[in-house]
């Protein structure tokens, strides 16, 4: 991980020191790729970070139940509109 951070620092310094626009584009592409790589590594590293689970369990808070967005929308939707129609009143 340290090498990627060093690369990000080096590219940042080079970008600030660059005087020509032609120099900037390749360095910006390389910096963007290094930042992306660093972020992905951090995400992977902290994906299983146990501190939140432990704190919830210690405070006896159950972990959240994750539902699909469509299920959540249907859960909160009323089953009927509450309006009476001729069919529901038994009228023809």
Q: How far apart are CA 12 and CA 34, in angstroms?
A: 11
Please give the backbone phi and psi of residue 18, each rounded to the nearest 5 degrees, phi first: -65, 140
* 8 A C-beta contact, residue 52 and residue 22: no
Residue 23 — very low, low, confident or very high, per pLDDT cuts 50/70/90? confident
Q: What pTM was computed for the model?
A: 0.51
| pLDDT tens track for 39-51 | 999 988 887 776 6
Kindly state the tokens that stand for 83: 């309006």
Q: Does the pLDDT of residue 63 top 80, yes or no?
A: no
Q: Is the per-residue pLDDT at 88 higher than 90?
A: no
What stretches of 2-76 adopt beta strand conformation (E)? none
């Amino acid at each position: 991980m340290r090498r990627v951070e060093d690369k990000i620092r080096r590219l940042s310094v080079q970008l600030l020191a660059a005087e020509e626009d032609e120099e900037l584009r390749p360095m910006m592409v390389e910096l963007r790729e290094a930042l992306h790589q660093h972020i992905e590594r951090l995400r992977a590293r902290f994906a299983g970070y146990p501190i939140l689970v432990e704190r919830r369990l210690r405070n006896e808070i159950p972990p959240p139940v994750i539902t699909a967005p469509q299920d959540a929308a249907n859960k909160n939707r009323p089953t009927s509109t509450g309006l009476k129609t001729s069919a529901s009143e038994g009228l023809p």
